[in-house]
Amino acid sequence: MQNEWPLWEVFIRGQHGLSHRHVGSLHAADAEGAIKNARDVYTRRNEGVSIWVVEARQIAASSPGDKGPFYEPANDKVYRHPGFFDIPDDAGAM
């Protein structure tokens, strides 16, 4: 619908040192409006220190239909996980 504001995806960084996480989406007329709306919709309880917004149509996404070719080949290759080493006790937590 041409009268609808575009959809924006919202990413919030909870505290310094953590990466931005997707928290949801909202409508806004432009990027600045989207950040203000995100402030009001998603950070009312002190959830964030930084907000990113990106217009939803700008996000390229993998297709759910490609699930098999994309991800299944990794299932039977346990040797890709570094699980076959004995870790010396004095190495501590890895």
Partner 1 sequence: MSDPLFEFLCRMGDNTLVLGHRVSEWCGVAPVLEEDIALANTALDLIGQTTLWLNLAGEVEGAGRDADALAFRRDVREFRNLLLVEQPNGDFGRTIMRQFLFDAWHRACLSALCESTHDGIAAIAEKSLKEVTYHLERASDTVIGLGDGTDESHARMQTALDRLWPFVGEMFTGDDVDKAMTSAGIAPDPASLRPAFDEKVTDVLTNATLTPPESDFAHRGGKTGKRHSEHLGHLLTQMQWLQRAYPDATW
Instruction: Note the residues at the interface with partner 1 (CB under 8 A).
Output: 5, 26-29, 32-33, 36-37, 39-41, 44
Nearer to partner 1, 45 or 77 (CB): 45
Nearer to partner 1, 37 or 51 (CB): 37
Q: Which residues contact 87 (CB under 8 A, 6 or more apart)?
A: 94
Nearer to partner 1, 40 or 90 (CB): 40
Which 8-state DSSP code applies to residue 69?
H
Give dist(CA 51, CA 39) in Å, integer: 8
* Both tokens assigned to 21: 């996480």
**Nearest to 26, CA basis, from 15, 12, 16:** 12
How far apart are CB 19 and partner 1 at their closest, in Å?
25
Nearer to partner 1, 16 or 45 (CB): 45
Give me the long-range contacts of 69-75 (CB less than 8 A, separation at least 24): none
How far apart are CB 85 and partner 1 at their closest, in Å?
51
How far apart are CB 27 and partner 1 at their closest, in Å?
6
